[in-house]
Structure 1
Amino acid sequence: MHGVTLALAVAGLLLIVLGWETGIEPVEGVVLLVVAAVLRPRPGRLPHGGPVLHRADAPRLFALIDEVAAVTGTVGVDAVVVTGDVNAAVTIYGRRRRRVLVLGLGLWEILGPRERIALLGHELGHFANGDLRHGPVLHGALRSLWLWVHALAPSRAHTVWDSLFNVVTYLPRCAAYGLLLLLDRLTLRAAQRAEYQADLDAARAGSTAGAVGLMDRLLVAPSVQDQLRREAVAARMTGGKAGRAAQEAAERELWERIAAHASTIPGHEHDRLLRIAARRGHSVDSTHPPTHLRRQCLALGAPRPALVDHDEERAAAVAAELDRHRATVARQVIRDHTG
């Protein structure tokens, strides 16, 4: 894919430099240069979706992240984006390839102290293990293919020209989509292997019990997401001053309600979900191995102790740093789920 982009740029320059006799070839060259510019590898952007924290904003949280990173064999992050998702992720942004952790309160708030350390260990483990899909070469190639597929996507046939475009771009669209699937399949095994390795880093940082507990929480993530939606709708059901007061109360109490909902899920429900996961192959997404296999892999061998201490005092300090942003993220969750 990067070779195609380079070839388009070179061809465009040659058409501009050598094609002035006809007058048409320079125009074609400009078009090729524009296409190459769109497809060129470019640095990622800082993820949106919530408040962005830097070290000065949350020193205790970043100190915890640094300690977990040292245990996994890497370094910490440059920023933390706090969102309302029932998920967490790491990515790279900027030309200097700065690291960012996307921390979803929907997941963070339902975890215990050891499970939170395991979550940080898992996400930072992707940096420690050299996950191929986070690298600039593969990431850029996948992005270029997605751009091809998006640019060649069929449009609604309002005119004859729309229908003609859909017909002309059918074969290139199929080729781009096929290449995207091929590259995805070729890197899928490496991506899943990276997930298993990141799980081992989670156990190393937060103990085997913490990592297994994290897997159990991931199983109930759909239920937590549904509860978030119900809480958001309930906060907007009434109008007037009473409605505004109810929404403000919901913003203050949203995460406590979510944590309370997760704590009421009985143990036999976790067992049922685990059996269903084993039968249906539940996974977080297509790049993650089945959750029950990840859990079994963690349970193999002797239990690992936690290498990162996360006592009540430290947990309270980290919670205090996040507390000032919890209402902001809750307000955004309520707006997004009811907008």
Structure 2
Amino acid sequence: MYDPALAPWRGTTMVGRWGFRRGLELDRSTHEDLLADPEARPAGPSSGEFWLSAVSVVLALLGVAAAGYLVWLVVASDLPPGVRLALAIPALLVLLLVKPSFGRVPKHGVITEREAPQLHRLVREVADAAGTPVPDVICADLSLNAGVARLGWRQRSVLVIGIPLWVMLPRPARLSLLAHELGHLANGDPLRVRRTLLARTFGTRAVMATGGRNPWQRAIRASESLASNVSGTAVLFGMIVNGIVALVNVAGATAQLLVDSVAMPDSRRAEYRADLVARRVGGSAPFLRSSETVLLAGRIWQDLWHQAPRVDAEQLEAMAAEARQRLAADLPLARQLSRRTTDLWSTHPGEDQRMRLIEALPDVDGVLSVDDVRWAGVDTELAPWRRAAHNALLGTRDRF
């Protein structure tokens, strides 16, 4: 059921209600397809990917044309400098909106094989089981998340492990987490996103360049400020400029909604397919435990925040396990909440929908298992990061 108090705000209740309903329909149809053949691979690029790739090419050509136009203004044009500058502004804005972004491979948090041979061995085994090359770089950070991406000019594959989430997860569920992220590499998801990145980010860049959300409120406040400080033509000119900026903002937000309505179905299917890789590699039960932990992660972290002054870094895993068990009664409500807070434009399906897919399939044990001795070796290698997570918990207390 659509709940405007919980569902993401998309500008109007009508749009939000339609997006919520469309997201549920998309999840339902995706479940039907994957339950019919969980091992099926995509036959090829989807229609959404095709159109986004085409839009990205058009935007790239637009950027090339803008760059050529700027070169002509500087080199070949006989116009006065002031006129050149005025004529260059639109081209510069276009370049800012369509400039390529390759990302950067993190310099901090990189875990080398020399520092953590057991972790690298584990990731290698998971990659082999998932059917993908080993990531070029393994990083750690202090987020309640994990991810994989291709970054830099060389498009190196980077696996990022959020240590707070890692500490909260039961050990078998950590294997599921790694398998899910490497499943994205096996399915080619980072490359698909890279091919369509210009189309995916154009509208967002336009919105951010014009001030973000609530453009008309900003335009009204700016006009009122002008009216109280200046008068006459300047006020009218300022109102026109603020109105144009607000219109561009609205156009960018609308374009982004349209793009996301095409892009997010593929993103959601990618998450489901990565979940199936996690189920195959790590097993059904560990996947469900990982999803339950994600649902409770914020509250577990809050619990650890309260206990941090009384424990040391080596006790975080045990404290997280106790908190996870204590909060287990909240899981039905948390699952329902995850359904109500996602819609068509959400990058991930709700955790409840992901769990339902795995629960509807036969239980499997997974093709890979890791004994406690090896997990202890991995924990020893990540001990400095556990201490960093503990310090982060202690540090956040200074803000309250």
Query: TM-score of the superposition, structure 2-length normalised?
Result: 0.71
Select 1:113's aligned residue among 156, 159, 171.
Answer: 171
Take 1:163 and 1:76, find their aligned partners in 2: how far apart are those partners?
A: 56
Cα drift, residue 84 of structure 1: 2.7
Q: Is the 8 A contact 2:163 2:385 kept in 1?
A: no
Return closer, same or farther for 1:277/1:151 CA change in 2, 3 Å cut-off.
closer
Select 1:262's aligned residue among 324, 333, 341.
Answer: 324
Take 2:376 and 2:263, find their aligned partners in 1: how far apart are those partners?
A: 40
Q: Is the 8 A contact 1:282 1:292 kept in 2?
A: no
- Map 1:237-252 onto structure 2 (within 5 A): 250-251=312-313
Select 1:179's aligned residue among 255, 261, 278.
Answer: 255
Return closer, same or farther for 1:42/1:337 CA change in 2, 3 Å cut-off.
farther
Is 1:45 equivalent to 2:99 in the alignment? no
- Map 1:191-202 onto structure 2 (within 5 A): 191-202=267-278
Cα drift, residue 217 of structure 1: 1.7
Select 1:215's aligned residue among 254, 277, 291.
Answer: 291
Show structure 1 runs of 5+ residues with no match: 236-245
The one-character-per-residue Cα deviations of 1:68-96 (angstroms, maximum 9, x if unpaired) are 11221211222233223222111222111
Q: Is the 8 A contact 1:12 1:32 kept in 2?
A: no
Cα drift, residue 61 of structure 1: 0.8
Deviates more, 1:197-206 or 1:92-101: 92-101
Aligned to 1:310: 370
Cα drift, residue 297 of structure 1: 1.2
Return closer, same or farther for 1:133/1:166 CA change in 2, 3 Å cut-off.
farther
Return closer, same or farther for 1:256/1:63 CA change in 2, 3 Å cut-off.
same
Corresponding letter in the other structure for 2:101:
R
Corresponding letter in the other structure for 1:302:
P
Take 2:113 and 2:106, find their aligned partners in 1: how far apart are those partners?
A: 17
Take 2:225 and 2:244, find their aligned partners in 1: how far apart are those partners?
A: 15
Return closer, same or farther for 1:85/1:42 CA change in 2, 3 Å cut-off.
closer
Select 2:149's aligned residue among 91, 111, 127.
Answer: 91
- Map 1:31-42 onto structure 2 (within 5 A): 31=89, 34-35=92-93, 37-39=95-97, 40-42=99-101
Take 2:119 and 2:398, find their aligned partners in 1: how far apart are those partners?
A: 31
Select 2:203's aligned residue among 142, 145, 149.
Answer: 145
Cα drift, residue 260 of structure 1: 2.8
Take 1:31 and 1:120, find their aligned partners in 2: how far apart are those partners?
A: 46
- 2:382 alignment partner, SS class: helix
Aligned to 2:70: 12
Q: Is the 8 A contact 2:200 2:263 kept in 1?
A: no
Show structure 2 runs of 5+ residues with no match: 1-58, 227-233
Take 2:87 and 2:319, find their aligned partners in 1: how far apart are those partners?
A: 59
Return closer, same or farther for 1:316/1:92 CA change in 2, 3 Å cut-off.
same
Corresponding letter in the other structure for 1:59:
P
Q: Is the 8 A contact 1:118 1:211 kept in 2?
A: yes
Aligned to 1:190: 266
Take 2:181 and 2:84, find their aligned partners in 1: how far apart are those partners?
A: 48
Query: TM-score of the superposition, structure 1-length normalised?
Result: 0.82
The one-character-per-residue Cα deviations of 1:21-43 (angstroms, maximum 9, x if unpaired) are 44445434654564455341021
Aligned to 2:48: none
Take 1:202 and 1:222, find their aligned partners in 2: how far apart are those partners?
A: 23
Is 1:78 equivalent to 2:140 in the alignment? no
The one-character-per-residue Cα deviations of 1:204-244 (angstroms, maximum 9, x if unpaired) are 11011111221222221232233244346xx4xxxxxxxxx
Cα drift, residue 332 of structure 1: 3.0
Aligned to 1:239: none
Return closer, same or farther for 1:253/1:278 CA change in 2, 3 Å cut-off.
closer
Corresponding letter in the other structure for 2:189:
D
Return closer, same or farther for 1:92/1:229 CA change in 2, 3 Å cut-off.
farther
Corresponding letter in the other structure for 2:102:
P
Is 1:122 equivalent to 2:180 in the alignment? yes
Q: Is the 8 A contact 1:122 1:202 kept in 2?
A: yes
Q: Is the 8 A contact 1:83 1:105 kept in 2?
A: yes
How many residue pairs are counted as aligned between the two chains?
A: 321
Cα drift, residue 14 of structure 1: 2.7
Higher relative contact order (CA 8 A, sep 6+): 2
Q: Is the 8 A contact 1:84 1:330 kept in 2?
A: no
Corresponding letter in the other structure for 2:111:
L
Superposition CA RMSD, Å: 3.0
Q: Is the 8 A contact 2:103 2:152 kept in 1?
A: yes
Q: Is the 8 A contact 1:89 1:102 kept in 2?
A: yes
Is 1:319 equivalent to 2:395 in the alignment? no
